[in-house]
């Protein structure tokens, strides 16, 4: 039975129109709120350059090799994350338990999108306000404005609904005319806006101070919590383990070289995080504000800065448009894995599948929105619903899926299948293979045990 199974799906799967198409959609998935919202505030709260250094190290040692592995799985399977794992498990004659990689990915992307969309909703609200310009006001007023937004379920649900509708609208269009086209429009503009903002940072704000903050080497500032925060973030920012990369890989044709393009994606993602960090901190320092402001950095500190600086209205508006583009192209990659599974499993049309999945995620998102106000008293394991979902996905499901992907690729799949699919040979293949077999799993196991330790 087993031998008759091949890695080919029964019918031909749609493919991205080109190598460039795959590059854009994958960068689109990777570059998101993780780069523009999480990275700056985590850097600010974790001692600046210490966090950046460890993060860069993790991207290179865990992130890039795993990004290649995950793309490889998807391309070989040519199906949804679950369908892909079904084929690969059969091909390797392995236990069905490995289907967990597919199921964790689907569940993870579903859960992440439910709260990602609520945060993206905050960004839509601030984009709306930025269009009119932020009126100068004392610092506390900006903090109060953000708290008022969180306390208002109607507004949160309105923006969350709009963002889910935007995401669904793109995915409804299909793989090439929806997802690829949206990324072709948004990603180049995102880069242009970012370059403009960094240029603005160089001339109008305090770029040298930002540069020192991010790159001044200070080994003493590296401690365990910095190490673990940076490793977890490397997963999140590269969209690893959550079905998105397997799904995008499944739309990749056999002609494209996986290692090179994955490296380019990781470089682009890192560049965006660093440029965003530079321009944001340049503004923060120029205005004498606090870099360690936490999650509110983007929504309280920056609007305050924009309200005070020359050209703040235009720059502020462009900045929030940039964040919307980034969040939107990521959320698309969070919706597609469940959609492709529902189509595959239940034989439904894409339209019906998009509507059903969107409705499910939207409902969960409403609960997330309410967890900031009406249901703020409801907690589980001492965490509110929002924190619970964030912890469950980025601290547990992502490292677990990453660990399983590394072990499956290096220890369960046949080595010649892996070599054939990744298209590396000689020393570069052995190097990558060893990293996936040993370095990444060990590093992930360390984060994972630490998290369990913290929770327990």
Binding site for ligand PHE (CB under 6 A): 29-30, 32-35, 109, 112, 236-237, 239, 242, 244, 330, 333-334
* Comparison of 149 and 244: residue with beta carbon closer to ligand PHE: 244
Query: At its nearest, how many Å lie between ligand PHE and the CB of residue 420?
Result: 27
Using the minimum distance from each CB to ligand PHE, give the nearer residue, 190 or 242. 242
Q: Residue 424: enclosing H or E segment and its boundaries? A: none
Min dist. Cβ of residue 42 to ligand PHE (A): 12
For residues 140 and 347, is the Cβ–Cβ distance under 8 A?
no
Based on CB atoms, which residue is closest to ligand PHE, 246 or 289? Answer: 246
Listed residue (25, 239, 33) closest to 126, CA to CA: 33
By beta-carbon proximity to ligand PHE, the closer residue of 38 and 76 is 38
Whose CA is closest to 119, among 229, 36, 237? 36
User: Residue 179: which of 62, 406, 294, 339 has the closest Cα?
Assistant: 339
Smallest distance, ligand PHE to C-beta of residue 439, A: 22
Of the candidates 92, 26, 80, the one whose C-alpha atom is nearest the C-alpha of residue 258 is 26
| Coil vs helix vs strand at 110 | helix
Q: How far is the CB of 307 from ligand PHE (least distance, A)?
A: 26
- Least spacing, CB of residue 77 vs ligand PHE, in Å: 18
* Beta-ladder partners of 380: 383
In the complex with ligand PHE, which residue's Cβ is closer, 104 or 145? 104
Q: Which CB atom, from 179 or from 418, has the smaller least distance to ligand PHE? A: 179
The DSSP code sequence of 373-399 is TTTTT--BTTB-HHHHHHIIIIIIIHH
CB of 176 to ligand PHE, least distance (A): 19
Q: Name the one residue in this structure whose structure tokens are 């894409």.
A: 350
- The tokens describing 92, both together, are 């390797």
Closest CB 103 distance from ligand PHE, rounded Å? 15
Q: Which is nearer to ligand PHE, 111 or 342 (CB)?
A: 111
Nearest in space to 353 (alpha carbons), one of 179, 166, 168, 181: 168
46, 218 contact by CB (below 8 A): no
């Amino acid at each position: 039975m087993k031998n008759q199974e091949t890695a080919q799906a029964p019918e031909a799967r749609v493919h991205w129109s080109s190598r460039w198409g795959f590059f854009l959609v994958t960068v689109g998935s990777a570059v998101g709120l993780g780069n523009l919202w999480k990275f700056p505030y985590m850097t600010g709260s974790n001692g600046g350059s210490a966090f950046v250094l460890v993060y860069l190290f993790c991207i290179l040692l865990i992130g890039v090799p795993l990004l290649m592995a995950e793309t490889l799985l998807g391309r070989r399977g040519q199906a949804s994350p679950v369908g892909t794992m079904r084929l690969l498990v059969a091909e390797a004659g392995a236990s069905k338990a490995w289907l967990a990689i597919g199921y964790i990915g689907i569940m993870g992307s579903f859960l992440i999108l439910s709260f990602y969309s609520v945060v993206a909703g905050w960004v839509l609200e601030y984009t709306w306000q930025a269009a009119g310009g932020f009126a100068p006001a004392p610092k506390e007023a900006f903090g109060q404005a953000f708290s008022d937004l969180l306390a208002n379920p109607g507004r949160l649900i309105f923006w969350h609904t709009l963002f889910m509708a935007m995401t669904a609208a793109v995915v409804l269009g299909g793989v090439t005319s929806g997802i690829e086209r949206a990324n072709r429009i948004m990603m180049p503009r995102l880069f242009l806006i970012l370059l403009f903002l960094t240029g603005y940072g160089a001339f109008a704000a305090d770029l040298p101070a930002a540069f020192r903050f991010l790159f001044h080497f200070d080994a003493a500032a590296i401690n365990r919590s910095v190490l673990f925060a940076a490793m977890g973030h490397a997963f999140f920012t590269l969209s690893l383990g959550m079905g998105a990369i397997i799904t995008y890989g499944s739309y990749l044709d056999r002609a494209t070289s996986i290692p090179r393009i994955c490296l380019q994606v990781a470089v682009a993602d890192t560049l965006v995080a660093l440029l965003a960090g530079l321009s944001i901190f340049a503004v923060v320092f120029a205005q004498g504000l606090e870099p360690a402001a936490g999650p509110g950095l983007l929504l309280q500190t920056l609007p305050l800065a924009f309200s005070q600086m020359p050209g703040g209205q235009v720059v502020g508006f462009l900045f929030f448009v940039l964040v919307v583009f980034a969040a939107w192209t990521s959320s698309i990659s969070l919706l597609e894995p469940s959609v492709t599974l529902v189509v595959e499993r239940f034989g439904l049309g894409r339209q019906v599948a998009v509507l059903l999945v969107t409705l499910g995620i939207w409902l969960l998102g409403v609960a997330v929105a309410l967890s900031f106000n009406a249901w703020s008293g409801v907690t589980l394991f001492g965490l509110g619903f929002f924190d619970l979902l964030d912890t469950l996905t980025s601290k547990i499901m992502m490292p677990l899926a990453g660990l399983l992907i590394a072990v499956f690729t290096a220890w369960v799949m046949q080595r010649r299948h892996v070599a054939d699919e990744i298209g590396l040979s000689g020393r570069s293949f052995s190097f990558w293979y060893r990293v996936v077999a040993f370095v990444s799993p060990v590093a992930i196991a360390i984060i994972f045990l630490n998290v369990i330790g913290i929770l327990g």
